[in-house]
Amino acid sequence: MNKSICSAFAGILIFAVLIGLAFRYQSAYFLYAASIVPLVTVPFLPDIRTAQYLRAGKRSPSLRFYRTGEAAGTDPGLIIVEFAPGDILWNKHTVYFSLQDIAEARADSAEKKVAATLSVLKYDLVRHRRRKGWVGVRLAPLKERTAGLSFTLREVNRLAIRIEDIRELARPKTPAVRERKGTTIGA
């Protein structure tokens, strides 16, 4: 079992034993000790996952990442995330994917299929805090934009993201330079 789940069960067990002892011996000290156990246990509880991670592979054969366009500087180029309806859990906050999973468009990806595609804007994208090369798409703005469309989220099977938006997100942010009184910058 997971270490955090074991510690949560241990905390609940200790709490129950201390409450039982406080009741049995009518002792306030056991009750005080039992009231401290949740404070100590809470940092070890498992997190509720608010993000979904997409990986192309054997587990999800319907999930594909590919890039299109970017020819001769005329087309900005798109990254297409193609999935079966129901693969994305729309109740999550963010869906993350790795930029290393993106392949060039193949001939079978360009075939004509019925597709409900959502455009992902620059402001919908986030960088993963810890995993390098992972990009996230916030789902709440996408849900809001589909409210006025003729299809529902259950019918969506593609996300289209501009490559330029991902490049802009991947650029390192330069820290702001502060001036001090009496000093010059760059001299």
The confidence score (pLDDT) of residue 1 equals: 61
Q: Domain-by-domain residue ranges, the chain?
A: 3-44, 51-170
Q: Which parts of the chain register pLDDT below 70?
A: 1-2, 4, 46-47, 58, 70-75, 104-114, 173-187
> Could you tell me which of 130, 158, 164, 162 has the C-alpha nearest to residue 146?
158
pTM of the model: 0.65
Task: Output the pLDDT for position 61.
Answer: 78
**pLDDT given for residue 117 in this prediction:** 87
Q: Which two tokens stand for residue 113?
A: 């299929």
- Give pLDDT tens digits for 22-75: 999 999 999 999 999 988 888 777 667 788 888 877 677 788 888 887 654 556
Distance of CA 127 to the CA centre of its chain: 9
How far is the C-alpha of 100 from the C-alpha of 52, rounded, in Å? 17
Residue among 44, 60, 46 at smallest CA distance from 95: 60
pLDDT of res. 187: 43
Tokens encoding 51: 């993000």
Which of these, 82, 152, 154, 96, lies nearest to 129 by C-alpha position? 96
